[in-house]
Structure 1
Amino acid sequence: MYCPFFQFDKRPFPTCLHSDRLFLSPDHQKGLTLIEYGLTSEAEIMILTGEVGTGKTLLGQHLRQRASSNQTIGMINQPHPVFGHLMAWLLHAFDIEATDNPQHAWQSFLVEQQEQGLTLLLIIDEAHHLSNELLEALRLLLNINNDKQLTLQILLLGQPQLQQHIAQPALTALHQRIYLRHHLSPLSYLNTEKYITHQLLAVGSRQRIFSYHAIMAIFYYSQGIPRKINQLCDFCLTYAYAKAHITVDIETVLEVVQAQQGFEISHHTIEAQAIQQQIQQQLHVQL
């Protein structure tokens, strides 16, 4: 709706971003580098955690898009018992034709991959939902690996509680096979500003749309979570368009926050001053 008004090619802050719009903050780049190192170092299990909306799934999709020629990547997005059993997930993740004997279909697929010298990477999103039984089943899948050839690697993506869950004594055998872990942190204020600029440039914007103070408020209320940043920015652009404003100021952000997120803001000027003071304290600079 607002794209022609701001001269965007498409929405800069959609609900679901494609992996080609991934913004690599220093922490995201570190996580990606560690995972890529784990893949080349024959790591069996790797773990990437982060709060809801920090970009774990997007990073997993990015890895899938960058699969090397000697790698086959499959991804399970909903590892919950209601969506079926592990073997059914595996067949779906790697596009293996389902048969009356899924175990045989999986074993045949593994043999085929081994004969071609290919390594499988299984990415499991929302892995904090996995039960002890399923986690143990995943560990047993790794028994296909041997000293001569690594066939299967697993990347678990999940919320922070995944780390505590796997640390249980009952999962000691699985815990010992974890090669690396990384936790994605929310974006800092400076990286929030870079994130917003990155998404605007991706849709053809060449002008400053969000004022500095507006970005401060977006960071303050989103807590640096990319998904929340997207939601706030999208609504801010809609509100600015409705008022025929070509820039988003802090008043617009506060209006959106109050209307869409249920915050009670009695005095916008006082609220804006409080936000600016907190950001100044974080950055130790004068804005």
Structure 2
Amino acid sequence: MYDAFYNLKKKPFQLNPDPEFFYNSAVHKRALAYLRYGLAQGEGFVVVTGEPGTGKTMLVKELFGTLRNENTVAGLMVTSQVGAEDTLRIIAATFGLSYDGDAKAVLLKNLEEFFKLKAREGKRVLLVVDEAQNLPVQSLEELRMLLNFELEGRSIFQVFLLGQDELRSTVQGSKMEQVRQRITAMYHLRPLESEETKEYIVHRLTTAGWAHDPEFTKEAFEEVYRHTAGVPRIINTLCDRLLLYGYLEELHVLDLEAVRLVIKEMEQDTVRVKPPSRQELTNVETPMYPIDSEGAVPIAGSLEERVVQLENLVLALRKTVQKERALLRKAILLQLDMDEAYSEPVDEV
């Protein structure tokens, strides 16, 4: 769609974390350094927290990309509210071990044997827990106990915890003293600053093949930062809609007015609990704008009066075009939602 219009090789602001678009801002560079330091330590917990959308999952994917040539067996676990024993089962499944119906003692024995096997092969086992703020205290305790497994006096298992601000509150609780003692590094991701937001947008556009079309004005960058507060996920959502708007309006310069209009449209969008059915879509009435069927508009009076009438007519036509384009944008977004809601799962080949 807009990627072809602007000669982009791919969509620059997709929401799915793509390591190709990783932006090494000052805060993300430091967080990545903490992760690598913790990895070099080879033991304990490494904790990274941040608001939703600040790039924690992207950090993990970037880290995993650097582990390909290292002797590390890494597993990614996305948590939900599960009990301690279920947590062990999820960990076992993450590393391809038996888990269905096994008792806790069997799960622990299998995990310990797996960790020791990899250690004898000269490899380390790393578990990355995403959305770790969902872990109950008992599950954190189970992870701490797994850290006690050793081979010849050295640690053979390590855990990275990535989560929202609630995770910091959890580990600082009165019952978490033993967990805190096993934390080797801890870092909190903050949103991007104003200049970093501009650099982030330019970085993603450039990665997608951008040749300065469309051009962003200084005021447009500033308004994006003002609305998003520097949160990457929100920046992606706004800029994706902004490029769609630019495509439909055939714009090659995106300015303050364009950003504000898109923000207004996004704020007016109602949140749907569920996507509308196909029957509901077919019953939607499309607003019609009256046009003189004869194709002629009576204009009379003096020259000045006729000029005013023509200006009013042009203004009315512009408003009609703007309304129809706004409807077209909403229709495209609605269709994208419908395609996602009704798409059938496809087996991976």
TM-score when normalising by structure 2: 0.71
Matches within 5 A, 1:172-251: 172-207=177-212, 209=214, 210-251=216-257
Matches within 5 A, 1:108-119: 108-119=113-124
SS of structure 2 residue aligned to 1:12 = coil
- The answer to whether the 8 Å contact 1:139/1:174 transfers is yes
Alignment coverage as a number of residue pairs = 263
Deviation at 1:99, TM superposition (A): 5.8
Give the letter aligned to residue 119 of structure 1. Answer: R
What stretches of structure 1 of length at least 5 have no aligned partner? 264-287
Name the structure, 1 or 2, with higher relative contact order (CA <8 Å, separation 6+): 1
Structure 1's consecutive aligned runs of 4 or more residues displaced over 3 angstroms after TM superposition are 95-102
Cα distance in 2 for partners of 1:223, 1:126 equals 22
Cα distance in 2 for partners of 1:252, 1:173 equals 53
Deviation at 1:211, TM superposition (A): 1.6
- The answer to whether the 8 Å contact 2:119/2:151 transfers is no
Q: What is the Cα-based RMSD across aligned positions, in Å?
A: 2.0
Matches within 5 A, 1:92-103: 92-96=93-97, 98=99, 101=102, 103=107
Residue number in structure 2 paired with 1:51: 51
Residue number in structure 2 paired with 1:284: none
Alignment deviations for residues 169-195 of structure 1 (CA, whole Å, 9 cap, x no partner): 211111111111111110001110110
Residue number in structure 2 paired with 1:19: 19
Identify if the C-alpha distance between structure 1 residues 118 and 135 changes in structure 2 by more than 3 Å, giving closer, same or farther: same
- The answer to whether the 8 Å contact 1:98/1:105 transfers is no
Residue number in structure 2 paired with 1:279: none
- The answer to whether the 8 Å contact 1:54/1:184 transfers is yes
Cα distance in 2 for partners of 1:7, 1:144 equals 54
In terms of mean alpha carbon deviation, does 203-212 or 112-121 score higher? 203-212
Residue number in structure 2 paired with 1:105: 110
Alignment deviations for residues 186-243 of structure 1 (CA, whole Å, 9 cap, x no partner): 0001110110011011111121532211111000000000000000000000011110
- The answer to whether the 8 Å contact 1:47/1:181 transfers is yes
Give the letter aligned to residue 168 of structure 1. Answer: G
Cα distance in 2 for partners of 1:180, 1:113 equals 24
Deviation at 1:100, TM superposition (A): 5.1
- The structure having more radius of gyration, on CA atoms, is 2
Identify if the C-alpha distance between structure 1 residues 189 and 208 changes in structure 2 by more than 3 Å, giving closer, same or farther: farther
Deviation at 1:118, TM superposition (A): 1.1
In terms of mean alpha carbon deviation, does 138-147 or 235-244 score higher? 138-147
Give the letter aligned to residue 115 of structure 1. Answer: R
Residue number in structure 2 paired with 1:148: 153
- The answer to whether the 8 Å contact 1:122/1:153 transfers is yes
SS of structure 1 residue aligned to 2:76 = strand
Deviation at 1:147, TM superposition (A): 6.4
- The answer to whether the 8 Å contact 1:75/1:94 transfers is no
Alignment deviations for residues 35-54 of structure 1 (CA, whole Å, 9 cap, x no partner): 11121123411110000000
- The answer to whether the 8 Å contact 2:10/2:208 transfers is yes
Cα distance in 2 for partners of 1:123, 1:44 equals 12
Give the letter aligned to residue 250 of structure 1. Answer: L
- Percent identity between matched residues is 29
SS of structure 2 residue aligned to 1:261 = helix
- The answer to whether the 8 Å contact 1:73/1:121 transfers is yes
In terms of mean alpha carbon deviation, does 143-152 or 154-163 score higher? 143-152
Deviation at 1:94, TM superposition (A): 2.2
Deviation at 1:78, TM superposition (A): 2.6
Deviation at 1:66, TM superposition (A): 1.6
Deviation at 1:93, TM superposition (A): 2.1
Residue number in structure 2 paired with 1:85: 86
SS of structure 2 residue aligned to 1:11 = coil
In terms of mean alpha carbon deviation, does 87-96 or 100-109 score higher? 100-109
SS of structure 2 residue aligned to 1:73 = strand
- The answer to whether the 8 Å contact 1:79/1:124 transfers is no
Does 1:61 find its partner at 2:61?
yes
